[in-house]
Structure 1
Amino acid sequence: MPDTPSSLSPAGDRHFDGLADKFADSLYGAARGELRLALLDRLLPEMLDLDGQPVLDVGGGLGQLAAWFAARGHPVTLAEPSGEMLERARARLAGQPVSLLQAPLQALPECAPGPWRLIACHAVLEWLADPRSALATLAGLLAPGGQLSLMVFNRDALRMSNVVKGNLEKALADRLEGTGKRRRLTPISPLTHGQVEAWAAESGLAISAVAGIRVFHDYLRQPPSSAADRARLLALERRYCRVDPHWRLGRYLLYTLEASPTHPQEPLP
């Protein structure tokens, strides 16, 4: 099926109306999606202080993360700009303690101001035209001492993946971003660890934990073909996902960012 245009939002962000099926099949319907969820199941309890507190799930998409938190006793507010994605989440989350809110991240200071002790924002900033300002917005929603579980698409991993595939000219030119105007799901704003470090600091957030999601899987010449090999790969991913230097080449980087218990975030210059 040929690519067809897919418009950006007025703010220049990539939303997923008209692409929910492709999103579900590409990101969660394959082994890589199963691996991502299995790693999060292990890492989130290690990296977050979880005591049943309310959670704001920003850009919650199809509802997988909201379902994870709800199953562990957290009331969840899932905010998602795409009406199509939100309807899929509604079906998945029926009967669970999850409230649904159709809103982009930029509207959350008015729609869901909190303050929140726990915010989850997974695989969202890379689809925004201005991820730096978005992180500052999230910081402003946190309660003093609150935690932000942030997962971003790793630009350095995207470069490595292109090199492994033989796309040397593209890697040399650093042409790594997607355009957001077609059906391909290459993020428009993949981020580096250095950017997250700098933007977190200027927003008054401290990095308390970091991990790589899929530090090996995406570089394999062939995916595991048996259940035994998939189990071995998962064991490797779990063993090295928080070990330097391996975490730095995870397809996604997972952070716990913490707000100061006494000081508000600094505004952007």
Structure 2
Amino acid sequence: MHPNDKLTHYELTQAGDRYFDGLADKFSRSLYQAPRGELRLTMLDYLLPQMLQLSEQKVLDVGGGLGQQAAWFAGRGHAVTMAEPSSDMLTYAQQWHRDEKTLPQEVITYLQAPLQELPLQVPGPWSLITCHAVLEWLGDPQAALAILSRLLAPGGQLSLMVFNRDALRFSNAVKGNLEKALSDRLAGKGKRQRLTPISPVSHNEITQWSVESGLQIVSVAGIRVFQDYLRQPPATPAENETLLALEKQYCRQDPHWRLGRYLLYTLIKPETPE
């Protein structure tokens, strides 16, 4: 039996991780059919070709969720192995991919497995790994980054996106949750349907953990640098276009990227260890 089979959607695993069985529809509504989710995907579409060297290489998509990133790579000629621990999420992704008639079905392989099992099931080594919005749902994100490094081939690239703890603190302050921001009580509990990550991470942590895992950060960007702090959401298509232009202009500029709701990294594994 898969370790997730005994779990209801509001429980953590024994490792302290959060899976999302029973929440596929909520994810779809909250994260991808809403303006914030749409902007996140638009910014990934804008940034990934800038931040990665893409040559139709095989991709391991870790914690692939509803399958958006797997579809993005498959549509650009990559053979993708999509690993996802939640059976509900994986089923949703497979159905959505089948419904997308223009998507080459044969290039996506589906694997129900958590990140910790991947060195046994798909050891690679992989020249390109994506792991987007996964570490913040794990009990030990530092150990997870070390596992991703093990899976990566020398010279390989890791596209890593994490939920930014510093942005979460700033957002709470903007909303008036001053005591919560001051006391740093930012992490979610992972035991209800709320989608506040249980392990939001900071740029300083990613920097430290990367060094310890033998990885080098070669580029970083902030995703949703401004949108989450707006007092009023854009009311017209023209305002949406202006917001998108603002996000694109400053997503890689210091200091603005540091307050992106998500931080997007490209890390490489040096061919010769230093």
> 1:138: Cα distance to partner?
0.1
Q: Which amino acid is 1:81 matched to? A: P
1:221 aligns with 2:231: yes
Alpha-carbon distance in structure 2 between the residues aligned to 1:26 and 1:42: 22
> 1:29: Cα distance to partner?
1.3
Partner in structure 1 of residue 83 of structure 2: 79
TM-score for both structures, normalised by structure 2: 0.94
1:262 aligns with 2:272: yes
Segment of structure 1 superposing worse, 87-96 or 245-254? 87-96
Q: Which amino acid is 2:151 matched to? A: L
Partner in structure 1 of residue 242 of structure 2: 232
> 1:5: Cα distance to partner?
7.0
TM-score for both structures, normalised by structure 1: 0.95
Q: Secondary structure at the match of 2:81?
A: strand
Partner in structure 1 of residue 155 of structure 2: 145
> 1:262: Cα distance to partner?
2.1
Alpha-carbon distance in structure 1 between the residues aligned to 2:181 and 2:33: 28
1:8 aligns with 2:3: no
Alpha-carbon distance in structure 2 between the residues aligned to 1:141 and 1:229: 43
Q: Which amino acid is 2:183 matched to? A: A
Partner in structure 1 of residue 5 of structure 2: none
Number of corresponding residues:
261
Partner in structure 1 of residue 3 of structure 2: none
Q: Which amino acid is 1:251 matched to? A: R
Partner in structure 1 of residue 48 of structure 2: 44
Alpha-carbon distance in structure 2 between the residues aligned to 1:111 and 1:92: 25
Alpha-carbon distance in structure 2 between the residues aligned to 1:225 and 1:24: 22
Structure 1: which 5+ residue stretches go unaligned? 265-269
Q: Secondary structure at the match of 2:155?
A: strand
Question: How do 1:108-123 residues align onto structure 2 when only pairs under 5 Å count?
Answer: 108-123=118-133
**Aligned residue among 208, 219, 224 for 1:209:** 219
Q: Which amino acid is 2:176 matched to? A: G
**Deviation by residue 1:173-211 (Cα, 9 ceiling, x = unmatched):** 110000000110000000000000000001010000000
**Deviation by residue 1:42-83 (Cα, 9 ceiling, x = unmatched):** 100000010000000000000000000001000000000000
Q: Secondary structure at the match of 2:15?
A: coil
Q: Secondary structure at the match of 1:93?
A: helix
Alpha-carbon distance in structure 1 between the residues aligned to 2:123 and 2:233: 43
Alpha-carbon distance in structure 2 between the residues aligned to 1:167 and 1:81: 33
> 1:20: Cα distance to partner?
1.1
Q: Secondary structure at the match of 2:88?
A: helix
**Aligned residue among 175, 186, 190 for 1:180:** 190
**Deviation by residue 1:125-174 (Cα, 9 ceiling, x = unmatched):** 00000000000000000000000000000000000000000000111111
> 1:9: Cα distance to partner?
1.3
Query: 2:168–2:186: 8 Å Cα contact kept in structure 1?
Result: yes
Q: Secondary structure at the match of 2:94?
A: helix
1:107 aligns with 2:111: no
Segment of structure 1 superposing worse, 21-30 or 247-256? 21-30
**Deviation by residue 1:213-232 (Cα, 9 ceiling, x = unmatched):** 00000000111111110000
Partner in structure 2 of residue 59 of structure 1: 63
Question: How do 1:241-260 residues align onto structure 2 when only pairs under 5 Å count?
Answer: 241-260=251-270
Q: Which amino acid is 1:173 matched to? A: S
Identity %: 68
Alpha-carbon distance in structure 2 between the residues aligned to 1:222 and 1:87: 36
Alpha-carbon distance in structure 2 between the residues aligned to 1:46 and 1:101: 28
- Alignment root-mean-square deviation, CA: 1.1
Structure 2: which 5+ residue stretches go unaligned? 1-7, 99-103
Q: Secondary structure at the match of 1:190?
A: coil
> 1:263: Cα distance to partner?
2.7
Alpha-carbon distance in structure 2 between the residues aligned to 1:5 and 1:80: 15
